[in-house]
Amino acid sequence: QVQLVESGGGLVKPGGSLRLSCTASGFTFSDYYMSWIRQAPGKGLEWLSYISSDAITVHYSDSVKGRLTVSRDNAKNSLSLQLNSLRAEDTAVYYCVRDRGYYFDFWGQGTLVVVSS
Amino acid sequence: DIQMTQSPSSVSASIGDRVNITCRASQGISNWLAWYQQKPGKAPKVLIHAASKLQSGVPPRFSGSGSGTDFTLTITSLQPEDFATYYCQQGNSFPFTFGPGTKVDLQ
């Protein structure tokens, strides 16, 4: 079955950086687009980034553009997110999701990132 | 960016009720719309995509309709496991955007 497992969350100081990883299994990772979505505590869902199956095309939300880098390693079935210059408002659960081009059909369990001194 | 709005923001309903949730896009998105259900502490789950296509494994009491700017998610005969928050999402153009959510709780 399709599984997406995020790792790397935790407590990070303002101004710091975070790197999250997502390991995929149960499907041919290299055939699918992937995205990252986050959800601040008690808030709604915010799409952050899309990466094409071949990693050639990447799109970012304006809210994180310039601070966010997303990459993938199809040989390792893995997706990565690096977010720099962290602010309190980056506190959220970060989800790795399989992207079907216009909707998201499988989500990881999410990893919580807390930005606080 | 395409803005998504939902109404109502919350609805109280009883088991067996029919519930309608409306989603509106700030500009036309054809049928590039999905609906998700999220329960507390869990990741969202897709219910409907392409405005009206039921995702595999989702009970047929869930249905979607609409195109352009106005969409509706309907839950016929609400079940105990349906109490959750529902989000719409447009996939017409980047950045993909979500509605603010509609919480369905027990009356």
pLDDT in tens, A3-28: 999 999 999 999 999 999 999 999 99
Cβ–Cβ below 8 Å for B97 and A47? yes
Cβ–Cβ below 8 Å for B101 and A46? no
Cβ–Cβ below 8 Å for A102 and B94? no
Average pLDDT over residues A87-115: 98
pLDDT tens across B71-91, in order?
999 999 999 999 999 999 999
Q: Does A65 touch chain B (CB under 8 A)?
A: no
Q: Does B68 touch chain A (CB under 8 A)?
A: no
Contacts A–B by Cβ distance under 8 A: 56
Q: Does B52 touch chain A (CB under 8 A)?
A: no
Distance from CA of A100 to the nearest CA of B (A): 10
Q: Does A103 touch chain B (CB under 8 A)?
A: yes
Above 90 in pLDDT, residue B33?
A: yes
In B, residues 72-91, which contact A (CB 8 Å cutoff)?
87, 89, 91
Disruptive mutation site among B96, B98, B102 for chain A (greatest number of A CBs within 10 Å): B96
Above 90 in pLDDT, residue B107?
A: no
Cβ atoms B71, B52 nearer than 8 A: no
Distance from CA of A50 to the nearest CA of B (A): 9
Q: Does B98 touch chain A (CB under 8 A)?
A: yes
Cβ atoms A31, A53 nearer than 8 A: yes
Q: What pLDDT sits at residue B12?
A: 96
Q: What pLDDT sits at residue B94?
A: 97
CA-nearest residue to B92 within chain A is: A102
Tell me which of B69 and B106 has the higher pLDDT. B69
What percentage of chain B has pLDDT greater than the value 70? 100
- Structure tokens, B2: 């395409």
pLDDT tens across A24-67, in order?
999 999 999 999 999 999 999 999 999 999 999 999 999 999 99
The CA-based diameter of chain B, rounded to the nearest angstrom, is 38
CA–CA separation, A15 vs B57, rounded Å? 43
Q: Which of B16, B33, B37 is nearest to B72 (CA)?
A: B33
Which residues have C-beta within 8 Å of that of residue A102, sequence separation ≥ 6?
B32, B34, B49, B50, B91, B92, B96
For residue B77, the tally of other CB atoms under 10 A from its CB is 12
Phi and psi at residue A18, to the nearest 5°: -135, 150
CA-nearest residue to A99 within chain B is: B91
Cβ atoms B45, B94 nearer than 8 A: no
